[in-house]
Structure 1
């Protein structure tokens, strides 16, 4: 989807055996795809993250990496929180980088939003505090760090947090904005929405995503135009106090 826009894409992967498959995605596309083999688990500082950015020289950064529940809680924190935050700091400190898109999940928040009823909030609490306890703790720090540092950098930098529901491999069709706490979304929809958000010059904020019947490009245009931001209800001032440039 990004390649069809004539964009150049560099995929950072840990397993070199995936290289050929990823490079094949560029065949017949106007854009160019490259692969950089690095272990994000080994990124222990902003300086190490900066070295990767200096090598790739991106304008946009998309973070969809994660431990995937493998390797225990220590690996979850190492990748989903620590490495992510090192790349966030490095990206915000790099003037040529103008967007950072973080793929998170829609229950990842600290406070009940106004558009969720009590049952939906109870579901989110169960996910965050029981089912995905370590993942939530890691991802909420990363999401809040991105939001806080982007606001401190100011204009010229967009922090986009895309927050899908439960992922499926079905055929694409989606809904974006202030959605319910429970629901599914196709992986292809997540990719399509990410591409639309990156291509929209005014996209900035938290966007929840569930399956639906609205055209994706129209849905993204609508929520951006209407300034829908699912960070509403969260304590952004506390985020800014906790995370500093």
Structure 2
């Protein structure tokens, strides 16, 4: 069995810094270890559901992982719910500024202005509106399950934070949770309520000092909870096998999948 995880930075940041995807204490690896499976993690800093959908459409490494995925975990959508008074593109373009000293100054200015604007705007708008988050999640689900129709899908609902960068506020979270939960119920996706698992850890200051990312105890709890949703209460057809009573879908190209979605 192979577990495909699409994630934001919560999937590869620990209590101090980012880690390689094979770090065994990260929640995707914990989930894989609990299930006795390998884990393919594709993630990025600040990834929203839109970033993940772009990766599914354009990254050949993700294509390869989808072809062998027996279960899929969508660890995305949390960033979508965070306050974003400045367009995400502003942050993403900072690294291309030259000389490097200009990029460093722009990064400091962005952090300072962002926190102030979050407070002034009372935490609105969010990085993505709930409807756009759900649209991208559905595109991902259709693309993956078209090629791997037997693969169950798990969705992590947004976490909580105490980050000064986001003004310590999170007013958009409830709307995103509601929209994502409704979408999951309508599509057979298995939702995981992350906040109850990590709230005491994060809000109590026991996680990463940035107020967003988790320490290892929270990674362990989330990974075990993900595994719990994927244990064989529902049959999973392993990679490369066929069940005469439940055949695999016809082979499709990625162009076919994009047209269908």
* Length-normalised TM-score, structure 2: 0.42
Larger radius of gyration: 2
Relative to its length, the structure with more helix (as a share) is 2
- Structure of greater relative contact order (alpha carbons < 8 Å, 6+ residues apart): 2
